[in-house]
Structure 1
């Protein structure tokens, strides 16, 4: 079987595509894959390193306002559609799958017009503009949240699969995570991260968390600041007179390459609300304090977070309402109430869809066979 996958710009679009490809490869050994992205996106670096073939097209996203840039983008899109058609015609795929990002537009549209089976994977509760347009043309829409279905006009096309996560998220064990990260099994582990680039508002609020919990015997904190904020945060901690090296319960890192191990060790997470991050959290059944990124398109992170909150799996704090005191009190309340933490973890696990990649792979195979 021959498969084209398209998704780019951010890791949240690229890694799900890779995960889906590997799930298909397990079900259909010998399959050939071609990824289509852009030269500017992270896919140009990530896809070849993951061992997959990548080809690129020239395309850019529309701004969410009237502008001359949008006029230029529309003209460029005509050219990218021609490029995409040539790629599809040359590779002759049995199916084309898009996982998000504006690069998906011309690729999925070209395949659909050529009557090749197509699937888009919508990760968020509120669909992006590209997927809303593509929904009119593709054969199936694999949604990450059941709540997303109402935003598409063709319910017969939508299939609730959940969002695909890396297999290592589920294979990692708590004991492995604790050992790898030098953590204490007798303490409650709080994992704090704002995404691969960090989150300044969360990092700033953490200064009060350090003041409150430094040296605490019941809790340990693993804080991933992001590369850009790391030196600043470490400097502010020193200015505040907090000696992290002597605390015995605080670890600060600029970036974490083994996040699956950290999730396996975590008893509570403080996260943004990106769809793939939440898919990993719920697959592991970890309770969460969520601070959605306020500038995400259509405010989709808050909608994602509210699904977990409604189901008792998370506490949501808006970024505009986040203070060090509020974060300290929220963490302290949960740590002091193991029963509530346990109940939130169970609720989180019920939302998890660790088999999502396999379900999307099966959906793709069934579409090809039909």
Structure 2
């Protein structure tokens, strides 16, 4: 099987594609891959490290206001489509898979014009603009959330989940909290606002420090490499000290392994985060980012809240008191935590990679 993968801009578009590649490799050892990304997205730093052949196209997103830059966007898109056709003609793929981001729009549109089977994957509850554009010509559409079904042609959609979930569910973790100076066997609240940290979550945690100092559970905040200095400065300005059971870190590079040992997770409500935590059956306190297209994180979070698989705090309502209240509800009440674990695991699709593989095979 020869597969072209395309997705870019953010990790949420890239990691599902890479997780899918691992699944395919397990099932078809002679599979060949080519990843087509952009010059602007983080895929240029991530994909080459995997060993998958990587090529780039020059694309950019549309401005949501009237702007002359949109003329350049159209020009770059049409140029990228022409270049993508040349790449596809040379590679001769059996299928082209798009996981979102502007670059996948050019690649899959080129494939559709060349009559090559295409499969798109929508990770979120609200369809992205690129996937909406590609849907009419797509052969099949894999969904991460049932809530996105009404936004695509019904005869093409299949609920498959996010392949990142299967990757995390099968992970064997030998992580120990002792590596951070904490104790194993003690309930631990892991607070993670993304790889760069989230200012609102950091500030709420800062305000919660006096209360967390008195709690029996451990607290780990991942503040972000560029934000930890500011957090520590504010900590000193407010004359706050951290109890021995509280740690503030800049970054965690083995997050799934650490998540597997956490009791409760505080995080944004991105599709990849939700796929990972539900694959682990991990109770969560979700703080949807208000700065995303279509407010899709709020809708992602709502799907878990409605299933009893998570709590959610809107960012304007996030402060020290609301954070502590939510944390206490799950870490001081075993019955509620256990019920949420069960519901989280029920929502998780731990065979998402296999489902995605089967969907791809169905179009070849």
Q: TM-score w.r.t. structure 1 length?
A: 0.95
Match of 2:186 in 1: 187
Match of 2:276 in 1: 280
Match of 1:322 in 2: 318
**Correspondence list, 1:85-124, <5 A:** 85-124=85-124
Unaligned 5+ runs, structure 1: none
Cα contact 1:309–1:315 (8 A) shared by 2 = yes
Cα contact 2:166–2:352 (8 A) shared by 1 = no
**Correspondence list, 1:271-350, <5 A:** 271-350=267-346
Distance 1:167 1:159, change over 3 A: closer
Counterparts of 2:172 and 2:183, CA distance in 1: 14
Q: Post-superposition shift, 1:319? A: 0.7
Alignment match of 1:223 (pick from 218, 221, 238): 221
Cα contact 1:192–1:224 (8 A) shared by 2 = yes
Counterparts of 1:326 and 1:295, CA distance in 2: 21
Unaligned 5+ runs, structure 2: none
Match of 2:265 in 1: 269
Q: Post-superposition shift, 1:332? A: 2.0
Q: Post-superposition shift, 1:182? A: 4.6
Match of 1:212 in 2: 211
Match of 1:234 in 2: 232
Cα contact 1:272–1:290 (8 A) shared by 2 = yes
**Correspondence list, 1:126-275, <5 A:** 126-152=126-152, 154-165=153-164, 169-172=168-171, 176-214=175-213, 216=215, 218-244=216-242, 247-275=243-271
Counterparts of 2:132 and 2:180, CA distance in 1: 42
Comparing 85-94 and 162-171, the one that deviates more: 162-171
- Deviation sequence 1:264-296 (CA, Å, 0-9, x none): 111111100000011000000011111100010
Q: Post-superposition shift, 1:215? A: 5.2
Distance 1:340 1:175, change over 3 A: farther
Q: Post-superposition shift, 1:175? A: 6.0
Counterparts of 1:22 and 1:55, CA distance in 2: 19
Aligned length: 364
Q: Post-superposition shift, 1:66? A: 2.7
Distance 1:177 1:99, change over 3 A: farther
- Deviation sequence 1:235-292 (CA, Å, 0-9, x none): 2222333333xx2211111111010121111111110000001100000001111110
Counterparts of 1:324 and 1:105, CA distance in 2: 42
Distance 1:106 1:175, change over 3 A: closer
Runs of 4+ in 1 over 3 A off after TM superposition: 171-183
Cα contact 1:180–1:261 (8 A) shared by 2 = no
